Amino acid sequence: MKLNRRDLLALLPAATFAQVGPQPRPAPEIRFVSHTGQQVRLSAHKGKVVVVEFLLTSCPSCMQAAKLLSKLQTELGPKGFQAMGLAINPGAGTQLAEFAKNYATTFPIGVYPDPEARKFMQVSYMNRLLMPQLVFVDRKGMIRDQKGGDDTAFFANEEKNVRAILGRLLAERA
């Protein structure tokens, strides 16, 4: 029996396909209104290392990641670090202030449409998103790394691994 390419692809589970686009790649613009009413643009932070957390407001792992990013914002902000959070779940707007108050205390957080988030991350609708999704953008506006909730090794030592990526990117010049 001879299988063609389409037949072979049908045999592979969807999980075997890469969930993220290539790195490095230019970071598309992100615009949103923060929980404080501030207009936020990713491009306004060019020259800084930015971590964009795509999250669900009801996700415990997202809450933990936001707490870590809040801590790192306080510690590394003066060195050129900026965190931002984007809630992509339905109804997130009504939960945003509470989420920010409890977890994202030092950085802007807003609501973002799921289709736009997937486009930014270059994640197909065929792939299930496990949250949170962390996207690391360098000082030049290039996406240099991207980690999703399905990367259990990364999130098992989240703070150590995030610090390692940030340390490398913050050491680079703009």
pLDDT for 117-172, tens place per residue? 999 999 998 999 999 999 999 999 999 999 999 999 999 999 999 999 999 999 99
- Average pLDDT score over residue span 85-112: 97
CB 30 within 8 A of CB 52: yes
Which of 20-29, 65-74, 77-86, 137-146 is least confident?
20-29
Q: Is the pLDDT of residue 75 over 90?
A: yes
CATH topology of domain 26-171: Glutaredoxin (3.40.30)
Which residues does residue 111 pair with via DSSP β-bridges, in sequence order? Answer: 87
**pTM value?**
0.88
Q: Mapping DSSP to helix (H, G, I), strand (E, B) and coil, where does residue 28 land?
A: coil
Alpha carbons 171 and 52: distance in angstroms, whole number:
19
CB 117 within 8 A of CB 98: no
Alpha carbons 144 and 133: distance in angstroms, whole number:
14
Q: Is the pLDDT of residue 89 over 80?
A: yes
Q: Mapping DSSP to helix (H, G, I), strand (E, B) and coil, where does residue 70 land?
A: helix
- Average pLDDT score over residue span 67-76: 98
- Average pLDDT score over residue span 54-80: 98
Q: Is the pLDDT of residue 7 over 80?
A: no
Give the total residue count for the chain. 174
Alpha carbons 97 and 49: distance in angstroms, whole number:
25
Q: Is the pLDDT of residue 16 over 60?
A: no
Q: What is the mean pLDDT of the chain?
A: 91
Alpha carbons 21 and 32: distance in angstroms, whole number:
22
Hey, what are 141's tokens? 């506006």
pLDDT at 84 (0 to 100): 98
Q: Is the pLDDT of residue 6 over 80?
A: no
Alpha helix (H) residue ranges in the chain: 5-11, 60-76, 92-102, 114-121, 152-156, 158-171
Amino acid at 92: A
Hey, what are 151's tokens? 């990367």
- Average pLDDT score over residue span 9-31: 66
pLDDT at 19 (0 to 100): 53
